Amino acid sequence: MIYELVTLSSPPLAQDAASKAAHDWVLKGEGELLGAWRTEIGELFQIKLLRRYDSIAALDKERMRTLSSAKPFGIDDPSVRLQLERYERFPFLPEVAPKEFGRFYEFRTYFLKPGGLPPTLAGWKAAIAPAHEYTDHLVVNLYALDGLPRITHIWGFSSLEQRTELRARHYAAGLWPPKGGPEQIARATSTICIPEPYSPLR
């Protein structure tokens, strides 16, 4: 399975139209829509879409549909910026399934140092089960197949207070972060999003 993360960045008043157009677009294309969100904390006025494909060929077919269109994702507003990222799931994590995680989703991207992926994978694999009370909120962790070496992990929480409490408790107990993980991070970003009404992940 191959994953694609789409980010549409728009002016404030164009965000609703961009989300609706993107929803209509993905319903007519390849891949399975897993989630759709708008940013709430971090860089604002973005719509994020997570899709899954059975094969690289299926993703490439959909990517060509996007690249060949005069209105990719149904949007003809030149002020809306489109970013397409290709990812693969950490092999020891389950596939993403529609589920209610809560009102708040966190997207964390870690840009890795050269050679940082193998120790990152090993650290996460060892930490998932011991920190299960926290990692039960992990939607997925993905490593990039294009662009700079990086991982993007998505978390779901019922509240930001729940996120803060879980992280503080697991840090204090030494269960998180994964051993050897922080040493591989060159820089990182975090964005809080809320699901769109049509998002399978809610």
For residue 157, give both structure tokens.
């929480």
Judge whether 201 lies within some domain.
no
85, burial (CB in 10 Å: exposed 0-12, middle 13-18, buried 19+)? middle
pLDDT along the chain (202 residues), means of 10: 97 96 96 98 98 97 96 94 97 94 97 98 98 98 97 98 98 98 98 98 94
| pLDDT at position 158 | 97
Residue 16 CA to its chain's centroid (Å): 20
| pLDDT at position 115 | 98
140, burial (CB in 10 Å: exposed 0-12, middle 13-18, buried 19+)? buried
Closest CA to 82 of 71, 92, 97: 71
Q: What is the dihedral of CA 117, 121, 123, 129, to 10 degrees?
A: 160
Same domain, 103 and 158: yes
Domain that holds residue 13: 2-88
* CATH number of 164's domain: 3.30.70.100
| Cα distance between residue 13 and residue 45, in whole Å | 9
- At 119, which amino acid appears? P
| pLDDT at position 168 | 98
| pLDDT at position 201 | 97
Peptide bond into 177 cis (omega under 30): yes
Instruction: Output the furthest CA–CA distance in the chain (Å, rounded).
Output: 53
Same domain, 62 and 119: no
Judge whether 13 lies within some domain.
yes
Judge whether 117 lies within some domain.
yes
Same domain, 20 and 68: yes
CA angle, corner 76, sides to 71 and 80, nearest 5? 105
Q: With 0.85 as the threshold, say if the pTM is over it.
A: yes
Run of H or E including 166: helix 160-172
Under a CB-based contact definition with an 8 Å cutoff, are residues 148 and 111 in contact? yes
Same domain, 106 and 80: no
Count of domains forming the chain: 2
Residue finishing a domain among 88, 111, 133: 88
| pLDDT at position 23 | 98
Residue finishing a domain among 60, 88, 116: 88
Same domain, 112 and 72: no
